[in-house]
Amino acid sequence: MKIATFNVNSINARLELVKRWLSEKNPIDILCLQEIKCEENRFPFKDFEELGFQCAVFGQKAYNGVAICSKYGFEEVQKGFGDPFWDGQKRFIQAKINGTHFCNVYAPHGDFDGEKHIYKLQFFKHLKEYMTQFDLKKENIVVVGDMNVAREDIDVWDAELLRNTIGFMDDEREAFEDFLSIGLVDLFRECHPDTKQFTWWDYKNGAVWRDEGMRIDYILTSPAMKERCESIEVDMWTRKRRSPTPSDHAPVVGVFRDQKKL
């Protein structure tokens, strides 16, 4: 089972890129998208169906929005947290696929201070509380997405320059670590403890070509799913392109053994 998380920065603007990637470069079984920037009726379902996917979408006009596309179908789908306040912005969708719970998250970008910053910190607190419904010690849980936080110095291109900037502020990092403390494993760091690899690069000044980026996109799992992980990598094909126009993020791709083969 190959899964991927990808902030596409508008699915309709990035459709040809995603279709080429999936059909020519990296066939994925379960694709979790963030920042799709469209309502459900504008999502390109037909294009994904032609590639063998069923898609569950929780969308919003021009902003945010998340989707899960699965070649296995769905046992169940929940769009949003089920809380009117937290679902005002479309940032969360959950699905059960082949006995595994997938939670797809687009965390707030935040700001240096003020309401957006507070909202971001509270979002991670709410996400942590939401996840308490699962037994992470026993169940197959995968939490993926753009968390808009880089964990450690190794996760940014210049720690001193970026310290206390958005995505690398102490309280943001503490809030994210507190969320992880419920028992989630950061798979990329688990598998690549010393690798400096980013998932986001600003569009400005050719940052991707100088590798001036941040690791803010994650595949997080319960311990049971960690044991099934065969590999996890950042796929740079979609990012290092002139055409089709890339997202500012690259997808993170994880490969997992079938549960029956353990």
Q: For position 15, which CATH number holds? A: 3.60.10.10
Q: Stretch 27-40: mean pLDDT, rounded?
A: 98
DSSP string, the chain: -EEEEEE-S-TTTSHHHHHHIIIII---SEEEEE---S-GGGS-HHHHHHTT-EEEEE--SSS--EEEEESS--SEEEES-S-TTTTSS--EEEEEETTEEEEEEE-----SSSHHHHHHHHHHHHHHHHHTTS-TTTS-EEEEEE-S---SGGGBS-HHHHTTSTTS-HHHHHHHHHHHTTT-EEHHHHH-TT----SEE-SGGGHHHHT-EE--EEEEE-HHHHHHEEEEEE--TTTS-SSSPPPSB--EEEEE--GGG-
Q: Stretch 161-170: mean pLDDT, rounded?
A: 98
Q: Stretch 192-200: mean pLDDT, rounded?
A: 98
Identify the pLDDT of residue 262: 39
Identify the pLDDT of residue 24: 96
pLDDT band at 240 (very low <50, low <70, confident <90, very high): very high
The percent of residues above 90 in pLDDT, for the chain, comes to: 98
- Other CB atoms within 10 A of residue 153 CB: 13
Dist CA 198 CA 249 (whole Å): 9
Cβ atoms 79, 93 nearer than 8 A: yes
Identify the pLDDT of residue 260: 53
Q: Stretch 222-238: mean pLDDT, rounded?
A: 97
Identify the pLDDT of residue 258: 84
Single pTM value for the model: 0.97
Residues 6+ apart with CB under 8 A from 238: 6, 17, 18, 21, 246, 247, 250, 251
User: Domain span at residue 59?
Assistant: 2-261
Domain count, the chain: 1
Identify the pLDDT of residue 261: 45
| Residue range 111-142, pLDDT digits in tens | 999 999 999 999 999 999 999 999 999 999 99
What distances in angstroms separate CA 172 from CA 117, 164, 208, 238, 250, one per listed residue?
9, 9, 24, 28, 22
Identify the pLDDT of residue 48: 98
Dist CA 219 CA 99 (whole Å): 18
* HSE, side-chain direction, 13 A CA sphere, residue 138: 4
Identify the pLDDT of residue 23: 97
